Amino acid sequence: MDREYQNTLTQHLLQSFPGECTESCIQCGTCSGSCPLARDMDIGPRRILALLRDSYLEEVLRSRSIWLCVSCNACLTRCPQGVPVPDIMYLLRLMAMDNGLAHREYKMPHLFQSFVRQVEKRGRVSESRLAASYGLLHPGDAVSRLGLGLKLLTRGRI
């Protein structure tokens, strides 16, 4: 991805949020400190915002971190500036998928793609349909989890 295109995408991302709230980040670290998965991320939320502000979008889009955010909103709730980190992570996932920069060996982009397709088509997500559509993309993974699915089914969890 050339630098000019990356700068254009970054500006689009920054303008997608009211008041350019990504620019209002004061780098206090509350988001990273609040995130239950920050220790598993290769780039923490605070650093992601700094990289975006400095137009290092490709590095962010290639990271595993954007796929680990579970949108628990702990960062947003505690942020003194109200920076919507979960919304930014969601948009970054879409951008990574659109630009072919999602991790190749990482399965979360495929699950995310199945999730987004369902929301766009039906307006909501059905766990069984999500599992089925993901299973079609990764039949080997679905077969390896069949035992767990049967166990959940027999206990009335599905």
Whether 46 and 120 map to the same domain: the answer is no
Confidence category of residue 152, pLDDT binned at 50, 70, 90: confident
Whether 138 and 94 map to the same domain: the answer is no
End-of-domain residue from the set 102, 128, 150: 102
What are the pLDDT digits (tens) for 11-25?
666 666 544 566 788
Q: What is the pLDDT of residue 36?
A: 94
Region 66-88 average pLDDT: 92
The domain containing residue 146 runs over which residues? 107-158
Whether 27 and 2 map to the same domain: the answer is yes
HSE, CB side, 13 Å, CA atoms: give it for residue 13.
Answer: 32
The domain total for the chain is 2
Q: Is the pTM of this model over 0.75?
A: no
Question: Could you tell me the CA-to-CA distances from 19 to 23, 24, 55 in Å, in that order?
Answer: 8, 8, 18
Q: What is the pLDDT of residue 79?
A: 93
Tokens, residue 138: 């990764």
